[in-house]
Chain A
Amino acid sequence: MSKKFHVSTTVNGDPVEFLCDSRETVLDVLRDRLSLTGAKEGCGTGDCGACSITVDDRLVCACLMLGAEAEGKSIETVEGIAAGEDLHPLQKRFIEYAALQCGICTPGILVAAKNLLEKHPDPTEEQVRYWLAGNLCRCTGYDKIIRAVMDTAAEMREAS
């Protein structure tokens, strides 16, 4: 084992420090060192999106970034989406619309969809579908997910 790296970063607004091996990914660190298991490893190769997080507001796969690269960054995960007991509108719609079944892809899709709506508050259906193309869902056929995102976008536009 090579010498571990000491990394200081911010996760969901909280300052965090951890030690990690040079080969450990941000996903390994979140799940195994910080006990934040919301991000899932579906593939480890960036093909499924279940580990989607944002780093400095940029949507990425946590499996494709090393823990050592997180120094000084600001990371957001699914665990940071709700404000205390208040669910984000996307979270509410996902439950209401059954935009989740097994739920393994849900954390990644919520992180990705939230990032989309922050950048594009009025997306077309095609835009939503392409934005989420890197988030595999095997249960729903995506229908209810797309509807939930579109309707949440409309709701958030009206509220703002």
Chain B
Amino acid sequence: MARDEFEAERTTYNFVGTRPDRPDGIDKVTGRARFGADMTAPGMLHAVILRSPHAHAKIVKIDTSKAEAAPGVKAIVTRADFADGLDGENWNILENVMAGDTALYDGHAVCALAATSMLEARDAAKLVEIEYERIPHVTDVDKAMAPGAPVIREGADDGSVPAGMHPNVVRYHESGHGDVEAGFAKADLVLEETFKTEATHQGYIEPHACLGHMGTDGKGELWCCTQGHWNVQKVCAALLGTETSALRVTASEIGGGFGGKTAVFIEPVALALSRKANRPVKLVMPRADVFRATGPTSPASMDIKIGMTKDGTITAAKGVFRLSGGAFPEAPMEFSAMCAFACYDLENVLQMGYDVMSNRPKQAAYRAPGAPMAAFAVESVLDEMCNQLGLDPLEVRLKNAAKTGSKASYGPRFDQIGLVETLEAAINHPHYKAPLAEGQGRGVACGFWFNHGGETSVSLMLSEDGTAQIAVGTPDIGGSRASMALMAAEVLGIPYENIRCVIADTSSLGYNEISHGSRVTYASGLATIKAAKDAVNRMCQRAAAKWGIDPDAVYWEDGYAKPSGPNAGEFDPMHITEITANMGATGGPINGHFEATPEGAGVSFGTHIVDAEVDPETGHTKILRYTVVQDAGKAVHPTYVEGQYQGGAVQGIGWALNEEYIYGEDGSLQNALFLDYRVPVASDLPMIDTVIVEVPNPGHPFGVRGVGETGIVPPLAAIANAVSNAAGVRMRQLPASPPRILAALKDRDAG
């Protein structure tokens, strides 16, 4: 056996922590990388989806006869072309993918067609006659749970909802510990505030796109941009009524997802059209459809109450979180509730969540779903309390910070965690000491995310020349092919450049959960390390057989099998190339595998500092300086870790200042283009400084924690605090857009 223990003792690495070029780099800078819309097939048709222009309407009639007769049209599908008898989440997905008898939001798919060219498909779509009967709608989360609100779906609650609530409230969560009322009684200052945030979109630049082919025998091929192709395979098979293994799904390069491409929207439609036409069908979402019908976050309405003594000790904290996940029961209100106070070691804490249905698109995950809005509310109250008590906001956070062994606000005790280290790094950062000018304000905030393990399979295949291939099943959304190769290089002791990592299709590897929950570097990384060790074990066995000694007397170091000591015998170290060159004759190909559902993901914390300047005459905010401090456990590729921090922070800047879903009185989305859905542009921003803190995760061989999501948790709060401190007025609603800031200033001046 190889000596397994050397990794745990290891504090230095040969490959992990270096910054080599990514394997997909040249493809991506030359234009040859193939994304969702870049694939073609012989005989391919082009599809379009027709969508409801109404927020809530009965679908009275769909007349496709004129469209069917139009030039080039080969197939038209409606709900009747999908599987019957689904239940649970599969039914919800189908209901979203293609409306049944009711259109539930502006942009809800009702019909689709495929034709021999895109222009023919678009022209034919204009000939489909759909008769709607509009019914009352509601899009605001508070209004949706108020008496008299239109009911989205009767009987959708899961049994957890307290009696007497509106039927649009479909799930309830409660957690915490201690006695909050007793805690508030001990406080010198108790502050209770209400906050609102609007829905945002992940805003990936690549629209959803796929190319599918399915025969009437149910066998199919699908190419698509997704964060999880095994999930696509499973869902598509269910919605089309075929067997899961009959469909092979290949993940394209993915042009951004951030959680939004964990869901299935168009792939079953392309396959249904293809089955009907018996030809490959390409389906690419127009940008407006991406905004109207995919992935927004949940709008949130939140009440926060915190008690604090004069020295800054939090005595009790309570939060109520009302989120709407659109016309489907799945708003991540329990994540809001559970993350809200997780940064703090609290004696008394209580959090409650309500999942509320409304006439909005089905929500999808977006980086730490539910957590950023909760952090905004909680960290705003803390900031206000520090202002009122004259306390340093980071010192107060440090005083109350959760530590190793703290009982988390959501239940378990924390293993080794790094919040204190991020706070200390922030306090000691030059940014925190830098002077501010008149009209400028500084904001800080902490954030927490659980991180996730999940079902994972990895294979590692050795070639005869001693190089290796890794097949992973988690689409690369943050440079993970490089990270996998680095971790495998560390175990195998061969150069990074000698390892190629690919994203396998669903027929070439065991099941892999979606690339979500910041799980890829953790879980696929752990599985890659284990698969590499499996291969190393096999190589040690081959060396042992050649030397005629016990396999236990052989260990692996820096690419060589070595006898483990004088007792094992005197043999020259055997290089990997010597073993692989003859592997066909010494027992056959050498591959390593690992399949598991690792549970030790290791929670993650971050602390952000931001300076902002507000123009008091226009309400315009300029971000002057931004610093992200976050615990990575162990940064496998530090440059890519920085990239995650910077990207998360800037998405948070957008959410805090200008991004929002704007619905009209008629319930239609007013800003379904990048023109008016205002993501940050290059000229809006300063450089984003990063500090990587490394407090190892005991649940990973190299100490890795996921880093993808935590970076978006603090920014909403940090920016709201900076803006509030700069403008001298507390912003309790996001985005803190110029009209809202100017209105708040006028309200303040009016007393």
Direct contact of A and B (CB under 8 A): yes
The interface of chain A, by Cβ under 8 A from chain B, is 1, 21, 23-24, 28, 31-32, 35-45, 47-48, 50, 77-79, 81-82, 87, 90-91, 94-98, 100-107, 110, 126, 128-130, 132-147
- A104 adjacent to B687 (CB under 8 Å): no
> With A41-B37, A91-B29, A98-B479 given, can you name 20 additional A-B contacts, CB distance below 8 Å?
A1-B71, A36-B31, A37-B37, A38-B32, A40-B205, A42-B205, A43-B673, A45-B674, A95-B22, A97-B639, A98-B22, A100-B28, A102-B257, A103-B35, A110-B29, A136-B205, A138-B204, A140-B646, A141-B685, A142-B685
Q: How far is the CB of B93 from chain A (nearest CB, A)?
A: 24
Contact between B673 and A45 (Cβ–Cβ < 8 Å)?
yes
Cβ–Cβ < 8 Å partners of A44 in chain B? 286-287
**Chain B positions 21-80 with a Cβ under 8 Å from a chain A Cβ:** 21-22, 24-35, 37-38, 40, 71
> With A and B bound together, what is the CA distance between A26 and B12 in angstroms?
53
Contact check, B35 vs A104: say whether CB atoms are below 8 A apart: yes
> How far apart sit A37 and B639, CA to CA, in the bound complex (Å)?
28
Query: Which residue of chain A is the closest to B686 with respect to CB atoms?
Result: A143
Q: Are B255 and A98 within 8 A (Cβ)?
A: no
Point out which of A32, A43, A126 has the most chain B C-beta atoms below 10 A from its C-beta: A43
**Within 8 Å of chain A (Cβ to Cβ): is B647?**
yes
Q: Determine the distance from Cα of A160 to Cα of B647 in the docked complex, in whole angstroms.
A: 34
User: Is B31 in contact with A79, judged by CB distance below 8 angstroms?
Assistant: yes
B458 proximal to A (CB < 8 A): no
Instruction: Pick the 4 closest A-B CB pairs, nearest first.
Output: A38-B31, A104-B255, A103-B28, A141-B650
Chain B residues lying within 8 Å of A1, measured Cβ to Cβ, are 71, 119-120
In the assembled complex, the CB of A29 is this many whole angstroms from the nearest CB of chain B, namely 12
Residue of chain B at shortest CB distance from A21: B119
Q: Contacts of A31 on B, CB cut-off 8 Å?
A: 37-38
> How many residue pairs at the A-B interface have CB separations less than 8 Å?
183
Assess whether A41 is in contact with B207, with CB atoms less than 8 Å apart: yes
CB distance A141 to B688 under 8 Å?
yes
Is B682 a contact of A145 with CB atoms below 8 Å?
A: yes
Residues of A within 8 A of B554 (CB): none
| Nearest opposing residue in chain B for A46, CB measure | B675
Does the CB pair B256–A95 fall under 8 Å?
A: no
Which of B25, B26, B35 has the most C-beta atoms of chain A within 10 angstroms of its own C-beta? B25
Q: A47 touching B674 by the CB < 8 A rule?
A: yes
Residues of B within 8 A of A104 (CB): 35, 204-206, 253, 255-256
Interface centre among A79, A82, A107, A136, by most chain B C-beta atoms within 10 angstroms, is A136
A15–B318 CA distance with the chains assembled, in angstroms = 69
Min CB gap B166→A, angstroms: 36
Q: Which residues of B are interface residues toward A (Cβ below 8 A)?
A: 21-22, 24-35, 37-38, 40, 71, 118-120, 202-207, 253-258, 284, 286-287, 477-479, 639-640, 642-643, 646-647, 649-651, 673-675, 679-683, 685, 687-688
A143 touches B646 (CB 8 A): yes
Residues in chain B near residue A94, CB distance under 8 A: 25, 29
- Closest residue of chain B to A125 (Cβ to Cβ) is B687
Contact A137 B674, CB 8 Å, known A1-B71, A81-B30: no
Contacts of A102 in B (CB 8 A): 204-206, 253-257, 477
Cross-chain contact A142 with B682 (CB below 8 angstroms): yes
Q: Looking at the complex, which one of A21, A23, A82, A142 makes contact with B30 (CB distance below 8 Å)?
A: A82
With a cutoff of 8 Å between Cβ atoms, the chain A residues found around residue B286 in the complex are 44
Residue of A nearest to B31 (CB): A38
Residue pair A45, B205 in contact (C-beta under 8 Å): no
Once bound together, how far apart are the Cα atoms of A105 and B32, in whole Å? 13
CA distance A109 to B449 in the complex (A): 32
In the complex, residue of chain A having the shortest beta-carbon distance to the beta carbon of B34? A37
A48 with B21, Cβ < 8 A, contacts A104-B256, A129-B685 known: no
Partner of B207, one of A42, A107, A140: A42
What's the nearest-Cβ distance from chain B to residue A31, in Å?
Answer: 8
* A-chain residues with CB within 8 Å of residue B687 when the two chains form the complex: 143, 146-147
User: Whole-angstrom distance from the CB of B258 to the nearest CB of chain A?
Assistant: 7
Question: How close is B750's CB to chain A, nearest CB, in angstroms?
Answer: 36
> Mind listing 25 A-B residue pairs with CB under 8 Å?
A31-B37, A39-B31, A40-B206, A40-B255, A41-B207, A42-B255, A43-B287, A45-B674, A45-B675, A91-B26, A94-B29, A95-B29, A98-B22, A100-B28, A101-B479, A101-B643, A104-B205, A104-B253, A106-B28, A138-B651, A141-B646, A141-B649, A143-B687, A144-B643, A144-B646
Give the residue name and chain of the A residue nearest to B641 (CB): A98
With a CB–CB cut-off of 8 A, which chain A residues contact B643? Answer: 98, 101, 139-140, 144
Which residues of chain A come closer than 8 Å to B257, judged between CB atoms?
Answer: 102
Beyond A23-B119, A36-B31, A38-B32, is A136–B679 a contact (Cβ under 8 Å)?
yes
For residue B679, give the distance in angstroms from its CB to the closest CB of chain A.
6
The interface residues of chain B, by DSSP majority, are classed as loop
**B688 CB contacts on chain A under 8 angstroms:** 141, 143
Structural contact, A141 and B647, CB atoms closer than 8 A: yes
| B479 partner residues in chain A, CB cutoff 8 A | 98, 101
Within the assembled complex, what's the spacing in Å between the Cα atoms of A39 and B71? 29
Q: Return A135 CB to nearest CB of chain B, in Å.
A: 7
Max chain A Cβ within 10 angstroms of own Cβ: one of B29, B38, B287, B673? B29
Tell me the smallest distance from the CB of A95 to a CB of chain B, in Å: 4
Query: In whole angstroms, what is the CA distance A31 to B37 when docked?
Result: 9
A95-B26 contact in complex given A37-B31, A40-B205, A41-B37, C-beta closer than 8 Å: yes
When A100-B29, A103-B24, A105-B205 are in contact, do A138 and B647 touch as well, CB less than 8 Å? yes
A contact residues around B650 at 8 Å (CB):
140-142
Q: Which residue of A lies closest to B478 (CB)?
A: A101
How far, in angstroms, from A81 to B26 measured CA to CA in the complex? 12
Q: Which of B22, B119, B254 interacts with A24 by CB under 8 Å?
A: B119
Closest chain B residue to A32, Cβ basis: B118
Q: Compute how far the CA of A42 lies from the CA of B203 in the bound complex, rounded to whole angstroms.
A: 10
- Nearest residue, chain B, Cβ from A128: B682
Closest to B676 in A: A47
CB distance from B718 to the nearest CB of A (A): 14
Q: A39-B31, A41-B37, A106-B29 are in contact. Are A139 and B675 (CB under 8 A)?
A: no
The answer to whether B685 touches A98, judged by C-beta atoms less than 8 angstroms apart, is no
A101 to B639, CA, bound (A): 11
B205 touches A48 (CB 8 A): yes
Within 8 Å by CB of B674, from A100, A101, A136, lies A136
B683–A79 CB distance below 8 A: no
Shortest CB distance A86–B (Å): 11
Q: Are A91 and B30 in contact (CB under 8 A)?
A: yes
Nearest chain B CB to A30's CB is how many angstroms away?
A: 10
Contacts of A95 in B (CB 8 A): 21-22, 25-26, 29
What residues of chain A lie closer than 8 Å to B680, measured between beta carbons? Answer: 141-142
Q: Which residues does chain A contribute within 8 Å of B675, judged by CB atoms?
A: 45, 47
CA distance A132 to B478 in the complex (A): 22
Measured between alpha carbons, how far is A45 from B32 in the docked complex, in Å?
23
> How far, in Å, is A119 (CB) from chain B's closest CB?
17
Q: Out of A24, A41, A129, which one reaches B682, CB within 8 Å?
A: A129
In the assembled complex, which residues on chain A have CB atoms less than 8 Å from the CB atom of B640? Answer: 98, 101
Bound form: Cα–Cα A144–B22 in Å: 15
**A91: which B residues are within 8 A, CB to CB?**
26, 29-30
With known contacts A98-B479, A126-B683, A142-B650, A107–B119 Cβ distance under 8 A: no
Give Cα A28–Cα B673 distance, bound, in whole angstroms: 19
What residues of A have a CB within 8 angstroms of the CB of B31 in the complex?
Answer: 36-39, 77-79, 107
Kindly list chain A residues whose C-beta atoms are within 8 Å of the C-beta of B478: 101
Task: Check B32 against A129 for contact (C-beta < 8 Å).
Answer: no
| Contact partners of A97 in chain B: CB under 8 A | 639
